[in-house]
Structure 1
């Protein structure tokens, strides 16, 4: 099977982005970008991805930093609990409130201003994201992996988990060569599918 055929099969099997799975219709607009940050925070902890995605859906009622900040800590805890996001519910509820406050204070609630501040530099985007509570290197990678759909300057963005999946499938592990296998608008889907390959042996088996 050629690399192109493997990628086509992979996208058919596991090519739903994590944002799409969480019900986020990603666009370069304040609300979906903020919801993506929330999802990245939730996926950063040592908890199953499907639980994190369910938690993001529960938190969708607070679709802006201001709404998240205005919600009570207990409301946030309860929403996380409904998604069974229980090991980290209290600390995450605190982090989400503090993160919302930072985005309001620094970017007037609009993460496009973070993008402008980074001035086209993917590493600066990543560094600025890591100022947010509970959003370390892993969370920043998750955000950038997904946001490359709407922020082309991030392309191609394949973090270590995605590249591990590529290696598992015998695909190129050089980001530029990997990117050559799909159109630009499919890079985020490919990155998500490769992460699933790393995390789920059944995905790799299906592709092979």
Structure 2
């Protein structure tokens, strides 16, 4: 499968699908962190994306707004999104993550990038300090954030690279990224992941 067909059939980025207008600003970067937290659970990606939209529709697009919500309010919204198996624990994770973001980075993930000296490995390590975000979650965040954080490019995790092999595309991250414009690397990564998950 060529890149154009892949992007057409399996784009856009997960952030865009969740309604996040991703820019290098505190609000959108926080929304990506929320989406990453949801995608890190053992739950289908489409449910995680739908649930993220529900959280944002509830007005919780910033860590301050999320911190103002109650645990029960978060549980209810997570349930509406279909995130029911982990709604109670995730309601806590989201609050704890918003608190950590405030205490450590003053609600601005750009400060995390600065603390990591824009080193991708260090960025991933700092992301793993957030509740529920492990190595896989850190890869998901970087895969999406490379759209606005050029220092993360190219970011293709194992799922994306396995899918690239399946599609007959290069499995070397640099060669794979060269197939698209730099700001499209995140869309390509997301499209590859969806393609890899497509069992049809």
TM-score by length of 1: 0.93
Cα deviation digits, residues 35-64 of structure 1 (max 9, x gap)? 000000101111111110011011112111
* 1:73 corresponds to: 71
Structure 2 distance, partners of 1:158, 1:141, is 8
Which of the numbers 10, 23, 26 marks the counterpart of 1:30? 26
1:127 to 115, 125, 130: 125
Deviations 1:128-154 (A, max 9, x none): 000000011111111100000000000
Aligned pair count? 198
Q: Select 1:102's aligned residue among 97, 100, 108.
A: 100
Larger displacement relative to structure 2 (153-162 or 59-68)? 59-68
Runs of 5+ unmatched residues, structure 2: none
Extract unaligned runs of 5+ from structure 1. Answer: 203-208
Q: 1:93 Cα deviation (Å)? A: 0.4
What is the SS of the residue equivalent to 2:61?
Answer: coil
> How far has the Cα of 1:159 moved from its partner?
0.3
- How far apart, in 2, do the equivalents of 1:92 and 1:167 lie? 34
Worse overlay, 27-36 or 193-202: 193-202
Matching residue of 2:85: 87
Question: Which runs of 4 or more aligned residues in structure 1 lie more than 4 Å from their structure 2 counterparts after TM superposition?
Answer: none
Q: Cα distance, 1:120 vs. partner?
A: 1.6
- Structure 1 residue 201 displacement after superposition: 2.8
TM-score scaled to structure 2, two decimals?
A: 0.97
1:51 and 2:47 matched: yes
Matched residue of 1:201: which SS?
coil
Q: Distance in 1 between matches of 2:99 and 2:194?
A: 32
Cα RMSD (Å): 0.9
